[in-house]
Amino acid sequence: MLKVVDRFLKYVKFDTKSDETTGKTPSTPGQLILGKALVEELESMGMKQVTIDENGYVMAELPSNIDKNIPVIGFIAHMDTSPDMSGKDVNPKFVENYDGKDIILNEENKVVLSPKDFPELKEYIGKTLITTDGTTLLGADDKAGIAEIITSLEYLIEHPEIKHGTIKIAFTPDEEIGEGADHFNVEKFGADFAYTIDGGKIGELEYENFNAAGVKVFIKGRNIHPGYAEGKMINSMTIAMEFLSKLPEDEVPEKTKDYEGFYHLMSIKGEVEETSMQFIIRDFDRDNFENRKREIKEIGNELNKKYGLDLITVEVKDQYYNMKEKIDPVKNIVDIAFKAMEEVGVKPIVHPIRGGTDGARLSFMGLPTPNIFTGGENFHGKHEYIPTFAMEKAVEVILKIVDLYVEM
């Protein structure tokens, strides 16, 4: 099992931070560099049908070694890391036999990983943790997933006595900017269903996620010298604040949990003459989701009527939908993952994803794809860490899933 840790440490050295502004796939060159390195590794292991396409999608196959006709299983992870923080020059640190106290990640910058802020650390007393050095994210989201999938497949190749059906794997670019499924060729992949290995703490098993939309609001103003502005100036920033005041103040990420949806203001840029705002809308319930989209458009219409001018333009674009709708008819794939965790000594934690994965969109593209843990915590920032035993358990879960389908 040391191999899964060694692989992870190797992969995090690749700078694969994605960038939604480039308009390219993959959005950054480092993802393609990692993809090509993974192709070489998969070929050297003995995987078949190993490919990387012009958009950086890596796919490979481990052919069945049984005569029995069973479903073709897929395992998927993503190569990019979050744009929220640098993924360059990642310098992982090991904390062995964690004692439950504060971990100094970076003494110079006074960056501390503390159970006061992250109480779940207490669950890992006595375990080995891999942390950041306090200057970058770690990259467990989702390079841990890649390492866990490849280590599992290598184990099967090295132990041909273990029976398995055909297994497909894929590594995608740009999941972190919502584009991981944009160019995913489901037909070429050829699986009946799949699992993304892209969850957080050990035991997570998810098959529900937000319905999601992105919103852009453009507000036009009229700039007049402030000394002569009475009855003439229209301050677009003031109207933006009025727009915001009409949204429910408690329906924001910092005040919601579980199945509660929200409106989230992502950015605002403004001057008197023009202001723009970007929101995301999230809700598990499809009807509530549609209502939220209507409501934010109606605020724009209401303010335009109030001022008697077409000052506000609201653009709403759906991003992904709740995969539960597509997975419920094949719920047995979740049940098998649940059983696999139990059989390797992992307590399943089934809860909704307050976000989305590649699997959400893939499920609507004809490939039902629930999500399984990687073992990482505090993704997307300098406090990210992963317990090594959780990575080892993820490998065991993948292997047990493969085994359970043979036993069906």
Distance CA 172, CA 26 (A): 9
Residue in 181, 91, 92, 242 with CA at minimum distance from that of residue 365: 181
Distance CA 184, CA 150 (A): 19
Place of tokens 């959780």: 390
What the block records as the tokens of 256 is 């919601």
Catalytic residue among 15, 41, 80, 204: 80
Cβ atoms within 10 Å of 127's Cβ, excluding its own: 15
User: What Rg do the C-alpha atoms of the chain give, in angstroms?
Assistant: 23
198 given a catalytic annotation? no
Catalytic residue among 175, 176, 204, 358: 175
Distance CA 336, CA 341 (A): 9
Judged by DSSP in three states, 359 sits in helix
Place of tokens 């098998």: 336
87-126 exposure pattern, b = at least 16 Cβ within 10 A, e = fewer: beebebbebeebeeeebebbeeeebebebeeeeebeebee
| Residue 204 near residue 373, CB atoms below 8 Å | yes
Write out the H or E segment, with its range, that includes residue 353.
none
CA pseudo-torsion sign 380, 383, 388, 390: negative
The four Cα atoms 315, 319, 323, 326 give a dihedral, to 10 degrees, of: 80
User: Cis peptide before 142, with omega less than 30 degrees from 0?
Assistant: yes
175 given a catalytic annotation? yes
Label residue 190 left, alpha or beta by phi (over 0 means left) and psi (-120 to 50 means alpha). left
Residue in 357, 68, 314 with CA at minimum distance from that of residue 210: 357
The amino acid occupying position 67 is: D
Catalytic machinery residues: 80, 175
